[in-house]
Amino acid sequence: MTRSGAVSRVLVTSLASPGGSCYRHCDRPLRIRRFASRLPGTWQVRACPSGVVSVTVYTEWTRRDPTASARTELKRRTVPPSLVTSWDLRLATRHGPELGRSAERFLARARPRRGVRVVYWRVYPFRGRDGKERRLFVCFRRGHPSPVFYAAAPDSEANRCPVCVRAAKRSG
Ligand SMILES: [Zn+2]
Ligand SMILES: [Zn+2]
């Protein structure tokens, strides 16, 4: 545990809730991907193999409410940034017992004044202007730094990531 707000490995493991499967899309198991940002805490994206995102989770060991800075980081990675809305972000403070025994022991030893604060970004299926369903997707391709979040029709097989599509057009 450091002063910087990083979350210890014990806690990260406890917070990585057991998978689940893709909501109303494909029933395939969710994968957990991590990415780094300017913030001290930890990011996890839970998405199915096609890239449909179930939830993105930011965890920080802190006294303050990290929701606003998490929102800023998400907007930097989302095309268009207006897909990130305050009402899709939920803050929770986690305590020892619900995180399992090793995390509870860890927190008891640390006697934390800070809490383990968790920001959940969950975008439920929504309708586009054409009336068709859209889902939040994530692209982790190496052509661009960090993940790119975007909305697309749930059945799209092709990669619709706007950053990858733009790059493909440029290269001919
Ligand atoms: Zn899926
Ligand atoms: Zn991409």
pLDDT tens digits in sequence order for the chain, 172 residues long: 444 677 776 666 655 555 678 888 898 889 999 999 999 999 999 999 999 999 999 999 888 899 999 999 999 999 999 999 999 999 998 766 667 777 777 777 766 567 789 999 999 999 988 999 999 999 999 888 889 999 999 887 677 899 999 888 888 7
Distance of CA 22 to CAs 37, 53, 68, 77, Å? 25, 8, 27, 22
> How far is the centre of ligand 1, averaged over its atoms, from the C-alpha of 59 (Å)?
24
The pTM of the full predicted model, rounded to 2 decimals, is 0.82
| Amino acid type, 79 | V
CA 27 to ligand 1 center in whole angstroms: 6
CA of 80 to the centre of ligand 1 (A): 22
Distance CA 99, CA 7 (A): 13
Residue 165 CA, ligand 1 centroid: distance in Å: 21
